[in-house]
Amino acid sequence: MFGKEFQRKYALTDQGIRNTKQGTFWTVIVNLVVMGGMGILYLMMSEYMAVLTDGKELPKAVTFILLVLAFLVLSIITHLQQYQVTYGLVYGEVKAVRLSLAERLRKLPLGYFGKRDLADLTETIMGDVNRLEHVWSHCLGYLYGSYISTAIIAVCMLFYNWRLAIACLWGVPVAFILLFGSRKLTRRNSEITKAAGVQVSDGIQETLENIREIRATNQEDRFLKVLNDKIDYHEKTMLRGELHTGIFVNAASVIMRLGVATTILTGTSLILSGQIDFMTLFMFLLAITRIYAPFDQALALIAEMFMSQISAGRLMEIYDAKTAEGADTFAPAGHDIVFENVGFAYDNEQVLRGVSFTAKEGEVTALVGPSGSGKSTCARLAARLWDITEGSIRVGGIDISTVDPETLLTDYSMVFQDVVLFDDTVMENIRLGRHGATDEEVLAAAAAANCDEFAEKLPQGYATPIGENGTKLSGGERQRISIARALLKNAPIVLLDEATASLDVENETKVQEALSRLLAGKTVLVIAHRMRTVEAADKIVVLSDGRVAEEGSPEELLKKENGIFRRMTQLQSASAGWSI
Point out which residues bind ligand ADP (CB under 6 A).
114, 346, 351, 369, 371-377
Measured from the CB of residue 369, what is the shortest distance to ligand ADP in angstroms? 6
Cβ closest to ligand ADP, residue 2 vs residue 416: 416
Length in residues, the chain: 580
Q: Which residues contact 223 (CB under 8 A, 6 or more apart)?
A: 207, 214
Distances (CA, A) of 186 to 6, 29, 183, 240, 510: 19, 31, 5, 10, 61
Inter-residue contact 527 to 376 (CB < 8 Å): yes
Structural contact between residues 148 and 155, judged by C-beta atoms closer than 8 angstroms: no
Q: CA-to-CA distance for 20 and 147, rounded, in angstroms?
A: 14
- Give the C-alpha separation, 46 to 56, whole Å: 11
Q: Shortest approach of ligand ADP to residue 345 CB, angstroms?
A: 9
Pick the closer one to ligand ADP by CB: 100 or 376: 376
What gap in Å lies between CA 329 and CA 238, rounded to an integer?
Answer: 50
Q: DSSP letter at 128?
A: I
Strand ranges across the sheet with 493-497 = 412-415, 493-497, 523-527, 364-368, 539-544, 547-552
Q: How far is the CB of 118 from ligand ADP (least distance, A)?
A: 14
Shortest distance, position 528 Cβ to ligand ADP, whole Å = 11
Which residue, 375 or 431, is less far from ligand ADP as judged by CB?
375
Select from 138, 562, 466 the least CA-distant residue to 308.
138
Find the shortest distance in angstroms from Cβ 13 to ligand ADP: 32
Q: Which of residues 273 and 348 has its CB atom nearest to ligand ADP in the complex?
A: 348
Smaller CB separation from ligand ADP, 197 or 369: 369
Q: Please report how close the Cβ of residue 530 comes to ligand ADP at its closest, in angstroms.
A: 15
- Would you say 370 or 461 has its CB closer to ligand ADP? 370
Provide the sign of the torsion angle of the four alpha carbons 453, 454, 458, 460, taken in this order.
negative
Q: Is the sign of the CA dihedral 346, 349, 355, 359 positive or negative?
A: negative
CB of 379 to ligand ADP, least distance (A): 8
The distance in angstroms from the start CA to the end CA of the chain is 63
Closest Cα partner for 421 from 412, 409, 431?
431
How far apart are CB 374 and ligand ADP at their closest, in Å? 4
Please identify, using beta-carbon distances, which residue of 351 and 503 lies nearer to ligand ADP: 351
Smallest gap from Cβ 544 to ligand ADP, in A, equals 10
Residue number, 374 or 396, with CB nearest to ligand ADP: 374
| Between 348 and 562, CB nearer to ligand ADP | 348
Q: Which candidate, 408, 443, 450, 417, places its Cα nearest to that of 428?
A: 443
